[in-house]
Amino acid sequence: MPKTHLTYSRILLKMSGESLAGSRDTGISRERLTYFAAEIKKACNLGCQIAIVIGGGNIFRGLSDSAREMDRVTADYMGMLATMINALALQDTLIRHGIKAQAMSAVDMPKFARSFDRQIAIELLQDNRVIILGAGTGNPFFTTDTAAVLRAVELQCDILLKGTRVDGVYSADPEKVADAVKFDQLTYMETVKRNLQVMDLTAITMAMDNHLPIIVFDFNEENNLEEIIKGHQTGTLIQG
C-alpha cells in the first residue's frame, strides 16, 4: 500500500514487558501476544515500518526480591535476558500471524537472534519487516525507555509511540487519584518539571536533544495504534 497518506511512515513502538503478562503479574499471556500481533498487523497493512523495543518486567519482576541484593550490573544483565525472551515470543507470534519479523539483540547471541546493526535494521524496515529490538542498549544502568529513544533516533523514526494501559499522561496516577488531569500535549521540559515519570530523565533528555516526538497512548484500546499512524491523535503528545 502507498505510504503517502500516513502521518508516520516509520515508528518505534515501546512496549512494557508487563503488558505481555495480561491480568497476571508475571509470565507471558498467549491472549495478549495474539492481541498485540493483530494490532501491529493493522499498522503493517497501512505500509508503516515498525521497530519495537520491549521491556522485561513481566519476567524480571518475579526475581526482584533477589535482585535487590545483587550487584547492579548483574541484575541489569538479567533484565536484558528477560527482554530477549519477550522479543523471541513476540517474533514467533508475529510470524505465525503472517507478519515478517526479526528479533535483534544489542548483545551478541547469534543462536537466538540477529545482532543489532543499524544499517541492517534499516534495510529490514525498508523490506517491511517488523524488527523487535531486545537487550536494551546492551549496557547496564540504562532503561529500555532510553533504549527505545536511542533506537528511534538511530533508525530515523518519525515518532516514538509508548504503549501503556492508560490513555495518556496524567497529573497523577488515574488508577489511584480520581481527579487526575489528563494532558493532551506536553513539552519535554514540562514533563521533567512536573515529574510525570513518563520515561526516565535520560530518555526524555535524549528525545529533546534529537527532536523526537513521543506519544503515550492506551495500547489496550483496539485500533489506537492504527489511528495514530494515520494522524488521529489519541493519548498525549510530548514535543517541543
Is pLDDT above 70 for 4?
no
Report, as an integer, the average pLDDT of 131-141.
Answer: 97
Read off the pLDDT of residues 21-41 as tens digits, 9 standing for 90 and up. Answer: 988 878 999 999 999 999 999
DSSP state of 182: E
Residue the block writes with cell 534529537: 210
Q: Which residue has the higher pLDDT, 113 or 6?
A: 113
Grid coordinates standing for 77? 544483565
Residue 70's pLDDT band, with cuts at 50, 70 and 90, is: confident
d(C-alpha 124, C-alpha 229), whole Å: 20
CA 9/CA 169 separation, integer angstroms: 24
**Helix, coil or strand: residue 115:** strand
Could you report the per-residue pLDDT of 199-230, keeping only the tens digit for each? 999 999 999 999 999 999 999 999 999 999 99
Other C-beta atoms closer than 10 Å to the C-beta of 47 total: 15
By the 10 Å C-beta count (0-12 exposed, 13-18 middle, 19+ buried), 204 is classed as buried
CB contact set of 75 (below 8 Å; sequence gap of 6+): 67
**What's the whole-model pTM score?**
0.94
- Across all residues in the chain, what is the average pLDDT? 93
CB atoms within 10 A of CB 2: 7
Amino acid at 227: E
How far is 151 from 157, CA to CA, in rounded Å? 8
State residue 2's pLDDT score: 44
Tell me: pLDDT of 3 over 70: no
Task: Tell me how far apart the alpha carbons of residues 132 and 204 are, in angstroms, rounded to a whole number.
Answer: 21
Distance CA 169, CA 227 (A): 18
The domains of the chain, with CATH numbers, are: 10-238 (3.40.1160.10)
**What is the share, in percent, of the chain residues with pLDDT greater than 90?**
82
153 in Cβ contact with 206 (< 8 Å): yes
